């Protein structure tokens, strides 16, 4: 049974033709209904979930507080202990998605796991106050390397997060130890390459999966409040890469801002190997991060470039 905490945030798009106008933030607490603001429609949502991972392969449902107009891209990040459990998602719809914990050998299954997610509608959006652009999209991917061109022309190389939105290979619901990880290489400001890499017993799978990606220009700022609500809480954010390449030992990531209740996404930006990113000890000022490579490989000796995005929690955001 999923216990959703009151840590949600929305990105909303002002209905002004094809023009996006600014992102703002308003606090939302304890699943309380937030008064509708005339005009905008929902384009994104974040949340933090505490869920049991005692039964391997058990899929759990997350319902969006506000349905999307179209199916969004969902990126989910385990956070908590230094033994964070890998997570996979599937059945992403306008109203929610399912997730499960995978590759749980060696993890304590008697303790609940904490995961955060960010869901954003497909398209190009501008974060107001900083003029930082973001893009969300989908691509069909398999084990062959392919190039994905951005719809938006970024001013510099963006930070990209990617996750499979489907989970079609056999054994996914049977509790077997496996996960499918998109390996990305952000080669420039206009494109990135991607392929799927399996971990565990499904290393030779051949199915194609739908991969969702979120791309952000690096930068930081404060999210503006919506028009007519200047007394509402502001939300800080930052999008950057770790100051140095990170190897398997834990790396301390120090934030530019101090956050009330941060949500953190982190992902390797250049790697040909089966590697995901672990986040632990998240607090208002810093977090511990490291790349998690496939066991019994020499890849742990290779430094990785890790990009990250931090947002204030319990805020509504408008574009």
- Class of residue 265 by CB neighbours under 10 A (exposed 0-12, middle 13-18, buried 19+): buried
Residue 196, CA distances (Å) to 21, 36, 75 in order: 36, 40, 16
- Taking the C-alpha atoms of residue 235 and residue 166, their distance in angstroms, rounded to an integer, is 32
Neighbours of 218 (CB within 10 A): 17
Work out the angle at residue 161's Cα, subtended by the Cα atoms of residues 37 and 140, and round it to the nearest 5 degrees.
Answer: 100
Q: Are 32 and 232 in contact (CB under 8 A)?
A: no
**What local confidence, expressed as pLDDT, does residue 260 receive?**
87
What is the pairing mode between strands 178-185 and 191-200? antiparallel
Successive 10-residue mean pLDDT values, the chain, 319 residues: 42 34 28 35 73 76 86 85 73 94 61 83 79 91 94 94 85 54 91 84 70 95 63 74 72 91 88 74 91 62 82 62
Residues 6+ apart with CB under 8 A from 268: 183, 184, 275, 276, 277, 291, 304, 305, 306, 307
**What local confidence, expressed as pLDDT, does residue 265 receive?**
92
Tokens 């002004």: give the residue. Answer: 16
Q: Domain residues of the chain, as ranges?
A: 3-120
Stated pTM of the model: 0.80
**What local confidence, expressed as pLDDT, does residue 112 receive?**
75
Fold for domain 3-120? Immunoglobulin-like (2.60.40)
Residues 6+ apart with CB under 8 A from 107: 53, 83, 85
**What local confidence, expressed as pLDDT, does residue 8 receive?**
43
**What local confidence, expressed as pLDDT, does residue 190 receive?**
96
């Amino acid at each position: 049974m999923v216990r959703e905490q009151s840590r949600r945030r929305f990105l909303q798009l002002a209905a002004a033709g094809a023009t996006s106008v600014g992102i703002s933030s308003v606090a939302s607490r304890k699943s309380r209904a937030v008064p509708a603001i005339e005009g905008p429609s929902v384009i994104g949502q974040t949340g933090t979930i505490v869920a049991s991972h005692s039964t391997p392969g058990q899929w759990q449902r997350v319902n969006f507080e506000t349905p999307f107009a179209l199916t969004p891209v969902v990126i989910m990040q385990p956070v908590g202990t230094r033994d964070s459990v890998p997570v996979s998602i599937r059945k992403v719809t306008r109203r929610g998605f399912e997730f499960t914990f995978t590759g749980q050998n060696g993890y304590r299954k008697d303790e609940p796991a904490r995961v955060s997610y960010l869901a954003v509608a497909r398209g190009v959006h501008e974060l107001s106050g900083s003029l930082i652009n973001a893009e969300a999209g989908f691509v069909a991917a398999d084990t062959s390397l392919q190039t994905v061109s951005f719809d938006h022309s970024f001013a510099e190389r963006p930070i990209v997060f990617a996750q499979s939105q489907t989970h079609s290979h056999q054994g996914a619901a049977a509790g077997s130890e496996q996960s499918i990880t998109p390996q990305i290489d952000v080669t420039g400001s206009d494109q990135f390459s991607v392929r799927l890499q399996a971990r565990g017993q499904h290393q030779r799978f051949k199915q194609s999966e739908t991969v969702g990606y979120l791309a952000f220009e690096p930068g930081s700022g404060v999210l503006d409040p919506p028009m007519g609500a200047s007394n509402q809480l502001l939300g800080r954010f930052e999008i950057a890469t770790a100051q140095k390449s990170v190897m398997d030992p834990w790396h301390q990531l120090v934030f530019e801002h101090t956050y009330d209740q941060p949500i953190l996404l982190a992902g390797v930006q250049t790697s040909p190997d089966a590697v995901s990113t672990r986040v632990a000890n998240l607090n208002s000022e810093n977090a511990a991060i490291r790349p998690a490579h496939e066991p019994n490989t020499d890849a742990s000796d290779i430094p990785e470039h890790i990009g990250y995005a931090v947002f204030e929690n319990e805020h509504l955001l408008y574009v």
